[in-house]
Amino acid sequence: MTAQLIAWEIMCTALFWSVFCRCVRTDKTTKLQIRVALYLVGLGSLLGLGAPLYGWGPDWIILTIVSSIVIMQIVMAQHWGKGVPDRFTRNRFLNVNRRKEDRK
């Protein structure tokens, strides 16, 4: 295995794991477009994991792009620590009359 292929598998696994961790926090109160985006990124990461089985191999440009997405997911994970951020929740489920510290 080449270093690029090993790095590719690590990045796709990390991307899938970050999406999985977000998906378990979503429910019907999460905006549909957020859930769909998460599912599509998760699907893309799974397809990426299996792509080398079909003879495809990443180059450094593709690896850099996927790595930057993984880094973005890691940074954004800080905002999901207490659940889905308010901006990703459908308006009718927001606790607008509650103190911020009392919200989920």
pLDDT digits (tens, 9 = 90+) for 27-79: 888 999 999 999 999 999 999 999 999 999 899 999 999 999 999 999 988 88
Q: How far apart are CA 52 and CA 36, in angstroms?
A: 26
Angle formed at CA 16 by CA 80 and CA 50, multiple of 5 degrees: 170
The amino acid occupying position 102 is D
**Facing residues of 30 across strands?**
89
Quick check: 13 pLDDT over 60? yes
Instruction: Find the DSSP H helices in the chain.
Output: 3-23, 32-50, 60-76
Quick check: 85 pLDDT over 90? no
Of the two residues 13 and 99, the one the predictor is more confident about is: 13
DSSP reduced 3-state for 99: coil
**pTM (two decimals):** 0.80
pLDDT band of residue 102 (cuts 50, 70, 90) is low
Q: Indicate the domain borders of the chain.
A: 3-102
